[in-house]
Amino acid sequence: MIIREIRDNNKLTLAIKGRIDTATAPQLETAVKTKTDGVEQLEIDLKETDYISSAGLRVLLAAQKSMKKQGSMVVTNVNEVIHEIFEVTGFLDILTIQ
């Protein structure tokens, strides 16, 4: 899984390419923890993400909670498969999807 960072002042975009599963979720978790200092708007771009497992959902949830304290978080470019996962797990109502 490859994470591309695009920093623009206080807005950070993390573009994720690949799968977010048990093996790769820690990488995303670390990225969110270490790169979001002073960030007010976090965008998670899932355009090139094939799949997300419960481990990935956990990381998104934790990211959402921590970004709530310092700003906001959106998830963008969600494909059909991931959209369904969000729907089934109820994450659709919790995350801000654009």
Partner 1 sequence: MDSRKVIKFLRRTLISFCLFFFIAFPFKHLDFLIPGVTEIRPENVIPPVMGILFGVPGALGAALGNIAGDLIDGTTVYTFCFGFLANFLYAYLAHKMWYTWFEREGTVNYPQIYSFYTCVKFITIIFVDSVFVAFMIMLLSEAIGMAKAHDVALILFYNNFDFAVILGLPILATVSNFWNDYEVPPKREISEKWQAYERIFTLIPAVVVTLGVWYYVYSRLQDQMYPQLAAVIMYIIMILLAIYSFRPRTAEIEKEKKRVDFSLKAKSNILFQVVGILMVVFVVAVTWYLNTKNADITRLEFWQDIFSTAGLSFNFVFGIILASLFIVEKYLANPIEKMTDIVREYGQQDHLDHQGNKTMAEACRSIRSKDEIGELADGIAEMIEDVESYVNNLQAVTQEKQRISTELNLARRIQESFLPRVFPPFPEYTQYFDLYASMDAAKEVGGDFYDFFLIDEDHLGLVIADVSGKGIGASLFMMISKALIKNQAMNAESPAAVLEAVNRQICANNEADMFVTVWLGILELSTGRLIAANAGHEYPALMRRDGSFELFKDKHGFVIGGMDGVRFKNYELTLEPGDRLFVYTDGVAEATDAVNEQFGTERTLTALNQHKQESCRDLISGVRDAIEEFVNGAPQFDDITMLTITFRPAELLRSSEENKE
Chain residues in the site for partner 1 (CB under 8 A): 21-22, 25, 53-55, 57-58, 61-62, 65, 87-91, 93-94
How far, in Å, CA of 3 to CA of 6, rounded? 10
Q: Tell the smallest beta-carbon distance from residue 81 to partner 1 (Å).
A: 9
Q: Tell the smallest beta-carbon distance from residue 35 to partner 1 (Å).
A: 19
Q: Are 91 and 65 in contact (CB under 8 A)?
A: no
- Pick the closer one to partner 1 by CB: 13 or 53: 53
Q: Tell the smallest beta-carbon distance from residue 73 to partner 1 (Å).
A: 14
- Pick the closer one to partner 1 by CB: 10 or 22: 22
For tokens 């093996």, the residue is 23
Across-strand partners of 11?
Answer: 8, 41
How far, in Å, CA of 98 to CA of 43, rounded? 10
